Amino acid sequence: MSKNWFEVSTEGFRAIQLGKPKWYAVREILQNAFDEKITECRLQTTHDSVRGKATFTVEDDNPEGFKDLQDAFTLYRDCYKRPDPTKRGRNNIGEKQAIAICDYAEIESTTGTWVFDDRGRHKKLHKRDSGSKVTLVIDMTKADFEDTLKFVRLLIVPKEIKFTYTVVYVHDPERNHALVCEHKEPDRTFETTLLTEYLKEDRMVRTTRKTKVELYKPTERAYLFEIGIPVCPIDCEFSINVSQRVPMSIDRDTVSQSYLQDLYAEVLRQTYTELPKDKAADTWVNIALADDRLKDKDDPVAREAVKTIVKDRYGDKVCSASPGDPRSVDDAICKDFNVVHGRELPSDVWDTFRKHEAIPSSTRLFGRGVAEYCKPIQPNEDMNNIAIMAQHIAQETLGIWPDVEFVESDATDAAWYGGRKLTFNVEQLGAGWFAPPLTKEHIALIIHELAHEGGEHHTEGYYKTLASIGAHLVMMALKEPGFFKLG
């Protein structure tokens, strides 16, 4: 009777791993080396295009060698890295995934050597004096091999490690080369609190922890890195290297949207002053703006970042469209404002903008007749004369007799019309504006507002009504010039 509840099918495990990119195997071996206390790591790659085989050898100078060779073939075995969130490994499955797709694999260390070949798994007596050496032989096309080299070139090598790799093309020796991969200095470094995972007592738990984040300007596509190891491509202005364990899927190639959102928010907080204006509407910026880290109205950095993004996107003249106040939307357009409609942005981005009062509503800027912003006033004789003139013009040209009122309002408009009511904003015009004699400024404002009987600005009805009123008044001026006398 076996104490083990489960058995693992090598063939089934291999089939699952073969569905992944081939560079996956090299990633796991290099990652294991970088997690150890080493000063040097060497990768040798060889590709035989005729046989369709690639050989990868990773060698390091770790004095202790491979800590426990049983880790090479025991799935999910207890791992010394799990309690430490600054280590990349956690599942103790990576080297098994790499070996599963190999025709041949060999692990040499200070405690012995294990070979995996067509005869199965067997141990050799050979031991190294120091360090470890892992050799993998994998079926690989030219494209898979080049993709693997591309992955290697993406690595952010730790500063304390000298990493070299050689590339050998068996049937194209002119392309052979060797490189020393230098540590890449980041363009920006900052600290923030991010989610991570580690072993606490007998289980893996998630917690937030302060860590260093490094930003790099990508030469091609941006990537998310976990302690220098590429995780996945991201749609961001920067490649992001997180200096602690990143919570991700078991295959370690995807992260949650909420984690990315936190990251993007922190990146935006750090870089909003240098972000090109034409990048202010990028998808990653919208994702960042939806994050709670940018919603705190008492956070001056968040507030400035949000307002800067709004300005870069829309300019100094911007407002949101008030659905229940189409007249204010129309007025905003006429005054060359960028009017942002609700459907243009996700609701959680709008929530961030509202928290920081980054985009005022069209009603707030151009609303009419709202009690909070308007105070009715008693008209004087000059105002009454202008009101009577406006009513006579409306009756003669439109066949209507509108109400006229006078208000003090902080609205930017001098007057407005709606619901058969003409409103003059005395705060904008000044009481002296109404004094006789009747001027072209009086007539122009009255015509402009009464034309709204035909519709809003930029509508055909408005312009037809505007032309009709003007034509009627010209004819009246020719026939009855006394009509235009005030009082």
Which long-range contacts does 326-331 make (Cβ < 8 Å, 24+ apart)?
A: 326/456, 327/366, 327/368, 327/416, 327/418, 327/452, 327/456, 328/361, 328/362, 328/363, 328/365, 328/366, 328/367, 328/368, 329/362, 330/456, 330/457, 330/458, 331/362, 331/366, 331/413, 331/457
Q: Which two tokens stand for residue 252?
A: 């370690």
Buried b (16+ CB within 10 A) or exposed e, 237-249: bbbbbbbbbbbbe
CB-based burial label for 402 (10 Å; 0-12, 13-18, 19+): buried
Upper half-sphere CA count for residue 433 (Cβ side, 13 Å): 18
pTM of the model: 0.78
Q: CB of 116 within 8 A of CB of 97?
A: no
Q: CB of 82 within 8 A of CB of 122?
A: no
Backbone CA torsion sign across 337, 342, 348, 354: positive
- Tokens 């569905």 map to which residue? 19
Pairing state between β 133-139 and 338-340: unpaired
Instruction: State the 10-residue block means of pLDDT for the chain, 487 residues long.
Output: 69 76 89 88 96 94 67 50 73 72 88 87 85 92 95 94 95 94 94 90 86 95 95 95 89 86 97 95 96 94 97 96 85 91 94 95 76 79 95 95 92 84 94 94 95 87 93 92 84
Buried b (16+ CB within 10 A) or exposed e, 16-35: ebeeeebbbbbbbbbbbbbb
Q: CB of 372 within 8 A of CB of 410?
A: no
**What CATH class is the domain 10-181?**
alpha beta
Domain 374-484 listed as CATH 3.40.50.300: no
pLDDT of residue 436: 93
- Number of continuous H segments (helices) and E segments (strands) in the chain: 14, 19
Three-state DSSP state, 231:
strand
Q: CB of 465 within 8 A of CB of 453?
A: yes
Length of the chain: 487
pLDDT of residue 88: 74
Please tell me the distance from the alpha carbon of residue 253 to that of residue 231, in angstroms, as a whole number.
5
pLDDT of residue 296: 93
Buried b (16+ CB within 10 A) or exposed e, 166-176: ebbbeeeeeee
Largest CA distance in the chain: 120
SS3 content of the chain, % helix, strand, coil (to 5): 35, 25, 35
Which sequence spans correspond to the domains of the chain? 10-181, 374-484
